[in-house]
């Protein structure tokens, strides 16, 4: 039939192909497998943080004060770290296979040709054989037992028979037979590419750390302009007034002081430390074969309280395995022939066997001496196959292998048929696929073969059960999520009861599966259904997306795992999308994480890494936000009181580096398994704001007292820097508690570094320090001691506040 159809169709002529190419009716399609370079650059370079820092940096360079522009290194390092890591992820993902079929087989101008899939055009005559991947949508014109696996598109694991007139979808794979297809949709119009196009709209992963830092930067952006003007005015007046400062060039010093105040307000190191923590986490996960496409995804999974799983490719490996035989010898009306195992061996070894029958080869390896005298190949439409062996052989007669309800339909087979169907239903309720092997002493007649008709006098011999191969690591991983109060929802395109049985096999509490065809249209009712059920079957790609959106709307943080095109839309909408390396290009392109070796068991490592990032960044954020708080308060105080700002930018850069930046780097990378709790910014600011206000008030009082005592400007700045050094080290110590192990070494090293800053002549001169007088030393000691006492009180009150406002644990429903 196929050969006849090929012979009768000459296919498109060269002129017709050229005409379609000119009209753009080709299968060419931009199948980018990861984020584009522009989106990476945009996310890491064009930020509010970089804009403020770049403006201050350029002003200092224009004024010739490059020594005070050290803060620019932080912005540059942050941009480079983020960009390099994400470009590395892009390069790794681009190496993954994008299309399983490098070429398509078409008939043109009367001859069969193999061409690149991108060169397939509308109305091409496509020839399909077992193992081919369909490159574009089309309509079957001829079929010889053509079967397609559409699981990557629909989630349905069973192969689908295709007859003339049936539609085939791009991305599906031929698992049996052969056929001729006329291409009906190409390129962006094909089914798989339409899903991919919708899924590939760019969006950044939700990150509490990043959004909280961005919120702080937005607050600063609103106030930085007015405060900068306030400080500039104060500096100009403090240096002799506007006219005098402009005339003698001292306006440049006023501008430098203003930039020192503005830059100190921005948590430079917090942005950098967050990027470093994300990047280090991504590198550590890469060693475990987890590809992080976007850095904040390292944090994201630690916040997840609900994870949605596709069955095929996630809980299971997508392979059918033989489960066992259930002979019916105890039934006196169905005594099995002694050689039925040899017949199963023949079915398993048959070159034309489907995936289910091939599973029998490993369990049964007995040869059948005589070749078959007739056969009817398996068809998923009738769901059975038959083979006949000649009389006198060990397997004489006709053997039928197929679905019990098709071989022995209701009302057929007498009492034996009834008992068989009852037993088959019982086995199927456990989620296993059942087939029956039946025998007839009659040999298939040519008319039976031609008509594809079951032989007479069939008797059931044995029931066979098959199951999907469950991943070895699935049960252990799901136990981990249960222990961590993470709810699980299994959403699959497969049969609900089959999915529920597999869910029970991996340890989920799933008494039954909900048929997605019965999902309510009302969002409120859908939310109730999602709370009441764990397993959902017959779910379409659009319904998967809707389920994820409904869970998010109910306040959950949702992760979605999958590998098929049918999962791409849901993975796109989830807070964290996770794809398997074996997944479709569209799925890997929109996922935040890709499991390169397909091992589900890596997810606990990702959760642990994310928790370490969140917990450590929260700890160091208090350091940086304390600096932002006191810097903002200092700018307002000194601007309002028309006093000269008591620091140079270089002094703040070096001291902040030793009391905040360097120790924060090590603290951000230390082990930390604390569970995630929402409210990161509120907890950080509840310490940083009062501590910052106390430090700012102390520095202003010192500056006022020193100015009143007539202490020179350079010595005043030295005293201010000493106070900030002492208090900064104390804040570091307070926030590092309990002090043990590496923390002792880190804090001790920072103390040594600060001693060197004040004692090494080159650094001393670079920072424009002066030897403090007795009055300055007394003021520094008194102010520092009072400030340290106030910070201890604030920390005590903060810890009580955090305990009182700690949120409840996330829901563990289902």
- The two three-digit tokens of residue 802, written as one number: 């955090």
- Tell whether omega for the bond before 738 is within 30 degrees of 0, i.e. cis: yes
Backbone φ, ψ for residue 327 (5° rounding): -60, 150
- The two three-digit tokens of residue 541, written as one number: 């790609």
Enzyme catalytic residues: 310
Q: Which of 592, 595, 575, 561 lies closest to 492, judged by CA?
A: 561
Name the 3-class secondary structure at 542: helix
How many whole angstroms separate alpha carbon 235 and alpha carbon 54?
Answer: 22
- The two three-digit tokens of residue 635, written as one number: 């700018």
To the nearest 10 degrees (0 to 180), the angle between helices 649-656 and 713-736 is 20
How many whole angstroms separate alpha carbon 610 and alpha carbon 296?
Answer: 9
- The two three-digit tokens of residue 78, written as one number: 């942050």
How many whole angstroms separate alpha carbon 743 and alpha carbon 456?
Answer: 84
- Reported as type and span, the H/E element at residue 566 is none
Tell me the DSSP string of 761-774: HHHHHHTT-----H
Q: Which residues make beta-bridge pairs with 487?
A: 306
First to last CA, the chain: 53
| Residue 738 DSSP code | S
Pairing type for strands 384-389 and 374-379 reads: antiparallel
How many whole angstroms separate alpha carbon 275 and alpha carbon 267?
Answer: 13
For Cα atoms 620, 623, 625, give the angle at the middle one, nearest 5 degrees.
Answer: 105
226, 258 Cβ separation under 8 angstroms: no
322, 466 Cβ separation under 8 angstroms: yes
Q: Which residues make beta-bridge pairs with 490?
A: 309, 535
How many whole angstroms separate alpha carbon 675 and alpha carbon 302?
Answer: 8
Q: Which of 30, 380, 9 lies closest to 188, judged by CA?
A: 30
Long-range contacts of 764-768 (CB under 8 A, 24+ apart): 766/67, 766/650, 767/648, 767/650, 767/651, 767/654, 767/721, 768/648, 768/650, 768/651, 768/714, 768/717
């Amino acid at each position: 039939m196929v050969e006849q159809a090929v012979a009768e169709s000459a296919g498109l002529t060269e002129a017709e192909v050229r005409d379609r190419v000119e009209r753009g009716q080709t299968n060419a399609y931009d199948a980018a497998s990861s984020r584009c370079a522009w989106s990476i650059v945009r996310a890491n370079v064009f930020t509010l943080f970089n804009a403020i820092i770049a403006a201050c940096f350029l002003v200092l360079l224009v004024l010739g004060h490059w020594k005070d522009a050290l803060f620019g290194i932080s912005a540059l390092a942050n941009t480079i770290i983020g960009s390099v890591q994400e470009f590395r992820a892009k390069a790794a993902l681009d190496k993954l296979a994008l299309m399983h079929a490098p070429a398509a087989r078409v008939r043109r101008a009367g001859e069969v040709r193999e061409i690149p899939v991108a060169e397939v055009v509308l109305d091409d005559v496509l020839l399909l054989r077992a193992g081919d991947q369909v490159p574009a949508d089309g309509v079957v014109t001829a079929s010889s037992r053509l079967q397609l696996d559409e699981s990557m598109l629909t989630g349905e694991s069973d192969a689908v028979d295709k007859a003339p007139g049936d539609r085939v979808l791009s991305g599906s794979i031929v698992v049996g037979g052969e056929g001729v297809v006329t291409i009906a949709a190409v390129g962006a119009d094909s089914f798989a590419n339409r899903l991919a196009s919708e899924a590939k709209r760019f969006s950044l992963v939700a990150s509490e750390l990043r959004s909280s830092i961005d919120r702080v930067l937005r607050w600063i952006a609103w106030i930085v302009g007015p405060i900068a003007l306030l400080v500039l005015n104060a500096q100009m007046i403090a240096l002799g007034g506007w006219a005098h400062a402009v005339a003698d060039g001292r306006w440049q010093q006023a501008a430098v002081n203003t930039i020192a105040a503005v830059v100190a307000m921005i948590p430079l190191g917090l942005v950098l430390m967050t990027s470093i923590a994300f990047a280090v986490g991504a590198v550590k996960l890469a060693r475990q074969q987890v590809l992080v496409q976007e850095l904040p995804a390292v944090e994201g999974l630690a916040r997840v309280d609900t994870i949605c799983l596709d069955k095929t490719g996630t809980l299971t490996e997508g392979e059918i395995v033989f489960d066992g035989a259930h002979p019916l010898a105890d039934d006196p009306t169905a005594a099995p022939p002694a050689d039925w195992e040899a017949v199963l061996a023949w079915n398993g070894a048959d070159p034309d066997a489907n995936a289910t029958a091939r599973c029998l080869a490993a369990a049964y390896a007995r040869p059948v001496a005589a070749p078959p005298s007739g056969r009817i190949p398996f068809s998923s439409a009738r769901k059975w196959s038959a083979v006949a062996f000649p009389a006198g052989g060990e397997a004489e007669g006709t053997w039928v292998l197929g679905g019990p309800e098709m071989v022995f339909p209701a009302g057929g087979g007498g009492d034996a048929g009834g008992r068989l169907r009852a037993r088959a239903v019982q086995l199927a309720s456990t989620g296993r696929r059942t087939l029956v092997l039946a025998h007839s002493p009659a040999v298939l007649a040519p008319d039976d073969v031609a008509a594809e008709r079951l032989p007479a006098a069939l008797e059931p011999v044995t029931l066979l059960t098959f199951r999907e191969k469950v991943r070895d690591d699935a049960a252990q991983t799901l136990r981990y999520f249960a222990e961590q109060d993470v709810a699980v929802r299994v959403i699959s395109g497969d049969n609900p009861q089959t999915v529920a049985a597999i869910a029970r096999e991996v340890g989920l509490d799933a008494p039954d599966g909900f048929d997605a065809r019965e999902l309510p249209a009302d969002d409120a009712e859908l939310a109730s259904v999602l709370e009441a059920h764990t397993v959902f079957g017959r779910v379409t790609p659009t319904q998967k997306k809707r389920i994820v959106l409904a869970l998010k709307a109910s306040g959950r943080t949702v992760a979605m795992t999958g590998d098929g095109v049918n999962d791409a839309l849901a993975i796109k909408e989830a807070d964290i999308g996770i794809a398997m390396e074996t997944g479709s290009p569209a799925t890997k392109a929109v996922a935040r994480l890709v499991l390169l070796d397909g091992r589900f068991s890596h997810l606990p490592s990702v959760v642990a890494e994310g928790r370490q990032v969140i917990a450590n960044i929260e700890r160091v954020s208090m350091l940086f936000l304390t600096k932002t708080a006191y810097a903002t308060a200092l700018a307002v105080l000194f601007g309002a009181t028309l006093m000269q700002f008591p620091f140079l930018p270089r002094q703040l850069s070096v001291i902040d580096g030793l009391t905040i930046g360097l120790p924060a780097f090590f603290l951000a990378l230390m082990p930390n398994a604390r569970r995630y709790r929402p409210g990161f910014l509120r907890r950080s600011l509840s310490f940083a704001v009062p501590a910052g206000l106390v430090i700012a008030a102390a520095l202003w009082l010192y500056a006022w007292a020193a100015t009143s005592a007539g202490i020179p400007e350079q010595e005043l700045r030295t005293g201010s820097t000493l106070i900030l050094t002492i208090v900064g080290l104390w804040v570091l110590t307070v926030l590092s508690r309990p002090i043990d192990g590496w923390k002792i070494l880190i804090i001790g090293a920072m103390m040594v570094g600060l001693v060197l800053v004040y004692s090494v002549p080159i650094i001393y001169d670079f920072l424009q320090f002066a030897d403090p007088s007795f009055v300055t030393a007394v003021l520094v000691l008194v102010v520092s001691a009072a400030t340290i006492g106030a910070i201890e009180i604030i920390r005590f009150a903060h810890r009580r506040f955090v305990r009182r406002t700690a949120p409840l644990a996330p829901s563990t429903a289902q």
